[in-house]
Amino acid sequence: MRFNLKVMVRSFGRAGALVGAVLATGCSSQRPAPDPVPYLDDASFRRSNLVASLVNPGNSYSTLRLAHYATGDSNDWDRLPEWNPAAEPIAATELDADGGAPPSALSDAAAPLMLPESVVSPDDPELVALGAQAFSRYPTQLAAYFVTALASRSAAASYGLWIDDVRGVGGLVRARMADGSVAVALTCSTCHAAPGAEGAIAPGLPNHNLNIGQAILDAPGSALDAATARAMVAWGPGRLDVTTTTGTEPARIPDLRPVQWLTFLQQDATLRVVDPTTLAIRIETLIITSNNDVVRPPRVVALGLAAYLASLAAALPSPTAAAAVSPQGAAVFAAQCTGCHAAPDLTGAPVPLSIIGTDPTLGLSAVRGTGTYRVPSLHGVGSRGPLLHDGTLPSVGAMFDSARTTPSFTGKLHGSGAVAGHTYGLDLPDGDRAALIEFLEAL
Ligand code: HEC
Ligand code: HEC
C-alpha cells in the first residue's frame, strides 16, 4: 500500500468531477456524487478510517480515541471548540534584547492561520500551502517551560532550539489564549525540523539536539517526583516520552520526510495507514490530546499538515542516485535487506519484537505497543541522524559496526555498552559492509 497523497487524490478528484457531470446531464437514479474530501465533513467516514487503522484496539492510545473520535455521542471530540488563535513565531533577534524574548507580548503582526473558504479536492495546492504555514505557526502544545530558554541565544542553543533569521527560534510561537492572555507554544517544527547539511532549516528532519526533558526539569517551579525526574534526565537530546506520564518510554523524534511511504505510523506501529485520512486523523487527535482535550484544530489544518508532510519526500535523494554512488552496496542491499525494507518504499510489514531483538520497552508499552516495531523507510536514512526507535545509534556506520553487539562498544547514545538486535548485515565481509554503508549514506 503506497501512501501517495498526490497520486491517489488526483485520480479521486477527477473521478468525482466526472461522476458529477454525468449525473447533472440527467441520470434519473439521482445518486449523489462521491464526496471529494470526506475527511472534512463525513463523521462516519472518519470513524471507520480510525477503527480500521488501530493495530491494537486494546492499548490506551486506541481506547482513548475509540471513546472520543467521531462517536456522535456527548463525549465526541467533534463537539470541542475549533481553535485557530492569533499566533506569531518568536524571532531570532528578540533573543538579543536585554532579558531575551518577551513571553507575553503579542505584536500587531500576530494572526490566525488563513483558512481556505472551501476545499474542492484533496490535491488542492492551497492545502499544502496551509500545511506549510501550520507546521511552523500552529500552537500544538503549550510550553511555558521554554521561557528559560528564551533568555538569550546561548540559553536557547543549550536546550537544542535551532535559531534561524527567517524561521525564528526553534519553531516556538506566542499565541493568544481564550482568556486573552498570551502563552508560548511548540509547533510541529520545534521537534520535526532542524538545520540540514547546508545549514538551512530542513522541515521533517528530526531535531536531535532538542532537550525537552532538561527544559522541563529546569523550568521555574517544576515539581516532579524524583523517579520521573530521573527518567526525564535519561531522555537526553532528540528523545521524549510521548506515551506515559512517568517518562519511562522515550522514543527518538522520527524523520518525517519519508512519511508518504510509510504503511504504518509511529515506531511501535500503532496505526496502519488505510489512506491519507489516517495521517490527518493522527495529526488531528495529536493536537487535541496535546492541548488537554479542550480544543480541536480546524480539520482543514490537519488535512493541510498531512498533505504538506507527504510533499516533503520530493526533496529526498532517489535510490537510483544512491545505487550509482555504490553499485556494490545496492547489490548487497537487494540481497540482504529488501525482505523487510522492500523497494520502492524501503519499508514493509512490522516485525515482532522477538525477531528484531532491539530494546523491547516501547513495543511492549501498554499505552501504544503492538508487540512489533515498524520497519522504517530508509529513504533519507543517510541524513537522518540517530537511528533505531530509541535513537541509540548515532549513524549508519555505527549501526553496521560489527563490534556494536559487544559490551565493549563505545558508540552507544543514551547509555553505554552493547546495542542488541537488528543484526542483519553485521556478519558481511568487510568490503561488502563498507559498500552497504556507502549506499545507505547516499540515500
Ligand atoms: C514535542 C516534540 C514533538 C512535537 C511538537 C510534534 N511531534 Fe510528531 N513526533 C514526536 C515524537 C517523539 C514522535 C515518535 C512517536 C512514536 O514513534 O511513537 C512523533 C511522531 C510523529 C509522527 C509519526 C511518524 C512516523 O514515523 O510514524 C507524525 C506523522 C508526526 N509526529 C507529526 C507531527 C505533526 C504534524 C506535529 C505538529 C502538529 C508534530 N508531530 C508535533 C515529537 C513531536
Ligand atoms: C527482519 C526484517 C528486517 C531486515 C531483514 C532488515 N531490517 Fe532494517 N529494520 C527493521 C526494523 C523492524 C527496524 C526498526 C528497529 C527498531 O527501531 O528498533 C529496522 C531499522 C533499520 C535501520 C535504522 C533506520 C532508522 O530510521 O532508525 C537501518 C539503517 C536499517 N534497518 C537497515 C537495514 C539494512 C541495511 C538491512 C540489510 C542488511 C536491514 N535493515 C535488514 C527490519 C529489518
pLDDT value at position 220? 84
DSSP output for 53-76: HBS-TTSHHHHHHHHHSS--STT-
Given 314, 330, 355, which residue is the final one in a domain? 314
Q: Please list, in sequence order, all residues whose beta carbon lies within 8 angstroms of the beta carbon of residue 292, skipping any fewer than 6 positions away.
A: none
Helix-helix angle 299-311:5-24, to 10 degrees: 130
Indicate whether residue 373 lines ligand 2 (CB < 6 A): yes
Among protein residues, the one whose CA lies closest to atom 10 of ligand 2: 375
- Report CA(205)–ligand 1 centroid distance (Å): 11
For residue 2, what pLDDT is reported?
28
Ligand 2 pocket, mutate which of 205, 404, 424 (most atoms under 8 A from CB): 424
10 Å CB burial of residue 97 (0-12, 13-18, 19+) is exposed
- The enclosing H or E element of 300 equals helix 299-311
Residue 82, in any domain of the structure: yes
The number of beta carbons lying within 10 Å of the beta carbon of residue 184 is 21
pLDDT of residue 20: 32
Closest Cα to atom 38 of ligand 2: 425
Report whether 131 contacts 307 (CB < 8 A).
yes
- Looking from the CA of residue 351, the nearest atom of ligand 2 is 12
Same domain, 179 and 62: yes
Into how many domains does the chain fold? 3
Instruction: Give a three-class secondary structure readout of 422-438.
Output: CCCCCCCCHHHHHHHHH
The pTM is what? Answer: 0.92
Residue 88 lies in a domain: yes
Report CA(375)–ligand 2 centroid distance (Å): 6
CA of 363 to the centre of ligand 1 (A): 17
Residue 357 belongs to some domain of the structure: yes
345 and 300 assigned to the same domain? no
The minimum-distance atom of ligand 2 relative to the CA of 400 is 35
Residue 232 domain-assigned (yes or no): no
Tell me what pLDDT residue 151 has. Answer: 94
**From the CA of 422, how far away is ligand 1's center (Å)?**
24
Distance from residue 3's CA to the centre of ligand 2 (Å) = 20
- Give the residue from 314, 339, 358 where a domain finishes: 314
Same domain? For 298 and 343 the reply is no
Same domain flag for 280 and 392? no
CA distance 53 to 46: 11
Range of the domain at 385: 319-442
For residues 266 and 376, the answer to whether their CB atoms sit within 8 Å is no
Q: Whose CA is nearest to atom 6 of ligand 2?
A: 337
Q: Do the domain assignments include residue 421?
A: yes
Q: How far is the CA of 334 from the centre of ligand 1 (A)?
A: 30
- Please, what is the Cα angle at 136 between 129 and 299, to 5 degrees? 60
Q: Does the beta carbon of 341 sit less than 6 angstroms from any atom of ligand 2?
A: yes
Helices (H) and strands (E) in the chain, counts: 16, 14
Residue 89 confidence (pLDDT): 97
Q: What is the pLDDT along the chain (443 residues), one digit of tens a residue?
A: 222 222 222 222 323 333 333 333 334 456 767 788 999 999 999 999 999 999 999 999 999 999 999 999 999 999 999 999 999 999 999 999 998 988 888 999 999 999 998 898 888 999 999 999 999 999 999 999 999 999 999 999 999 999 999 999 999 999 999 899 999 999 999 999 999 988 899 999 999 999 999 999 998 887 888 899 889 989 999 999 988 888 999 999 999 999 999 999 999 999 999 999 999 999 999 999 999 999 999 999 999 999 999 999 999 999 999 999 999 999 999 999 999 999 999 999 999 999 999 999 999 999 999 999 999 999 999 999 999 999 999 999 999 999 999 999 999 999 999 999 999 999 999 999 999 999 999 99
Q: What contacts 245, CB < 8 A, 6 or more positions away?
A: 228
Kindly state if the Cβ of 376 falls inside 6 Å of ligand 2: yes
Instruction: Please tell me the predicted confidence (pLDDT) of residue 23.
Output: 33
225 burial type by CB count under 10 A (0-12 exposed, 13-18 middle, 19+ buried) = exposed
Q: Domain end: 261, 282, 314, which one?
A: 314
Task: Give yes or no: residues 294 and 336 share one domain.
Answer: no
Protein residues whose CB sits closer than 6 Å to any atom of ligand 1: 140, 186, 188, 190-192, 212, 240, 242, 251, 253-254, 256, 259, 262, 265-268, 282-283, 287, 305, 368
